[in-house]
Structure 1
Amino acid sequence: MRRTETLAMMPRKLYLGPLTDSRRWDKVTLRPDDILVVTPPKCGTTWAQTIVALLLSGDPQIETQLSVKMPWVDIRFREIDEVAARLEAMAHRRSMKSHTPMDGIPFHPEAQYICVFRHPLDAHFSYRNHIRNSPLRWFDHWFPEDDPDGITFRRFLDGGAEGYDTDVMPLAHILRHYKAARARADRSNVTLLHYADMTRDLAGIFAQLARVLDTPHAEDLMAQLIAVARFDNMQQNAERFAPSGGQGFFKSDRAFFESGSSGKWQGQLSEAELAAYDAMMDAHLSAEDRAWLEFGSQQ
């Protein structure tokens, strides 16, 4: 039996949190030309989705409308039958989003999987800001406004990869995402990207994904698409590019993009907290894997 067939037949892990449910994927029938953007939260999901939308359309003016056109299948906010029916009715090439690790979603041997990662500490601090900007109050006890005892970071280190903790993105969940993606990274339909590389060389990322997705464009048009996807442009036009932008869901669409910087955790953690983080990373990853997960291709 070929390995692609084995992966497709393997039982999927269940990721069931208050916000997401990986069983919703049971209602979606994947197609060979589908594109799935699979990431932990705040690691460049919207950025990658925007790049995919631009490459598929070849239109710098496209209104991405990610929540509707490229839906987050896992999230419970919309009835899954409605989401599945909308996806099934799409005659064009489809793209979807997931915050479930690769071992919890269907694996199609021809569909393309784009897995995006970021330094776990940057993702964590970005997620803190995201929680403040969200109207959802479910996770306030994980992210207290006043936190002199470091509860938030302690739970980041102690939280599990599954169950309720799935939706608050503890380090264990990020590591599960990474290991599940890396286990499939030898497949031609699985691409691992890093936020730091997207920041350093956006043109290179566009060229890589254009090859992977077979969406070539003339050089002058590609330059226009790249300009649209630059972080500062997306931030300045947040109502256009944020998920559900312009609909009043977030307190601030612009704050959804916050800063896009790396190293925002520096100076924010004690020596003991950093030592605990280092110990967990070293216990679960090789030196090579840790270097890539934290800093991308130019570690």
Structure 2
Amino acid sequence: MTERKLYLGPLTDNRRWDMITIRPDDVFVVTPPKCGTTWMQTIVALLLSGDPDVETELSVKMPWVDIRIREMSEVADRLEAMTHRRSMKSHTPMDGLPLGDHAMYLCVFRHPLDAHFSYRNHVRNIPMPWFDMWYPEDDTDGVTFRRFLDGGAEGFDTDAMPLAHILRHYKAAKVLADRRNVALFHYTDMKRDLPGTFAMVAELLGLSYSDAVMAELVQAATFDNMKAHADRYAPSGGKGFMKSDSAFFHSGTNEKWHGKLTEAELAAYDAMMDAHLTPAERAWLEYGSGEEHRY
């Protein structure tokens, strides 16, 4: 991939990657928002350290490079000074990222409706009004879901996470899925088999631990443990970035959209999914590789 798509949004500027020199052993966690980003980052941090008590400090040690909030020169200098194996986070689709031949890219996806409703909770938990127009607190007219369906994959809409952006993420990753250094994960599969997820990531990263150590690492990455220690595991935890670190780990459940959408809204969602994905692609994006559900 020699030419990268441009993604510029209120938060995102993927040109910032131009200041990063990729190392062969770098690990990238690439996801749409609210699809298991922090969870996968934590899994990577635990595996790279082999320590269930490691201080993850994701926003500093495994930075979100695309976000405009931090000065890029500071982020680049910090990453360049790291002598250990590095990991970085991105909410930019794979077609907007620099693609190294040896660095590992872990792409995580979730049912788009679950990701959407999780994002609704997230925007209420950050003390910044970036997306009030898209996510009004008093949404009696269904504005939020209409914009979820109508929003584009690029430009301002990028960071508001419309369905088009999720689909762009999925298609861009799927095109590269046959590469040995690009792997696709699904939130539902991670939830169903966390030890299996750890084993898969460890193999991809060329890491190996005893069964006893792996069990401790897996326990550290359970939803209940991360929520109970949210000041440690939430992005910028303990620093006041969010109204509540614990609320960042809202529920960890799937299908939280049931009963919250009208038949017309669900029909519009179905039509868009079916227009852009094959039945097999849709089944995986919504439910992963486990037992398929129907609603």
Structure 2 length-normalised TM = 0.98
**Residue in structure 2 matching 1:243, options 223, 229, 235:** 235
Q: Give the structure 1 partner of residue 255 of structure 2.
A: 263
For the pair 1:65 / 2:43, whether they are aligned, the reply is: no
Aligned residues: 291
- 1:190-205 residue pairs with structure 2 within 5 A? 190-205=182-197
Q: Give the structure 1 partner of residue 129 of structure 2.
A: 137
| Structure 1 residues 198-225: Cα deviation after superposition (integer angstroms, max 9, x where no partner) | 1100000000001000111100000000
Q: Distance in 2 between matches of 1:55 and 1:25?
A: 25
Q: Give the Å deviation of 1:136.
A: 1.3
For the pair 1:279 / 2:278, whether they are aligned, the reply is: no
Q: Distance in 1 between matches of 2:256 and 2:48?
A: 33
SS in 2 for 1:40: coil
Q: Distance in 2 between matches of 1:35 and 1:76?
A: 21
| Counterpart residue identity of residue 133, structure 2 | H
Q: Distance in 2 between matches of 1:182 and 1:83?
A: 29
Q: Give the Å deviation of 1:57.
A: 0.2
Q: Distance in 2 between matches of 1:74 and 1:63?
A: 23
**Residue in structure 1 matching 2:120, options 108, 111, 128:** 128
| Structure 1 residues 121-140: Cα deviation after superposition (integer angstroms, max 9, x where no partner) | 00000000000000110110
**Residue in structure 2 matching 1:37, options 19, 26, 29:** 29
For the pair 1:21 / 2:36, whether they are aligned, the reply is: no
For the pair 1:288 / 2:254, whether they are aligned, the reply is: no
SS in 2 for 1:114: strand
| Structure 1 residues 130-187: Cα deviation after superposition (integer angstroms, max 9, x where no partner) | 0000011011011111111100000000000000000000000000000000000000
Q: Distance in 2 between matches of 1:201 and 1:138?
A: 36
Q: Give the structure 2 partner of residue 115 of structure 1.
A: 107
For the pair 1:104 / 2:102, whether they are aligned, the reply is: no
Runs of 4+ in 1 over 3 A off after TM superposition: none
Q: Distance in 2 between matches of 1:277 and 1:101?
A: 21
For the pair 1:89 / 2:76, whether they are aligned, the reply is: no
Q: Distance in 2 between matches of 1:16 and 1:135?
A: 22
Q: Distance in 2 between matches of 1:135 and 1:100?
A: 23
| CA RMSD, 1 decimal | 0.5
Q: Is there any run of 5+ residues in structure 2 with no aligned partner, and where?
A: none
Structure 1 length-normalised TM = 0.97
For the pair 1:80 / 2:80, whether they are aligned, the reply is: no
Q: Give the Å deviation of 1:254.
A: 0.3
Q: Is there any run of 5+ residues in structure 1 with no aligned partner, and where?
A: 1-6
Q: Give the Å deviation of 1:119.
A: 0.2
Question: Percent of counterpart pairs with the same letter?
Answer: 71
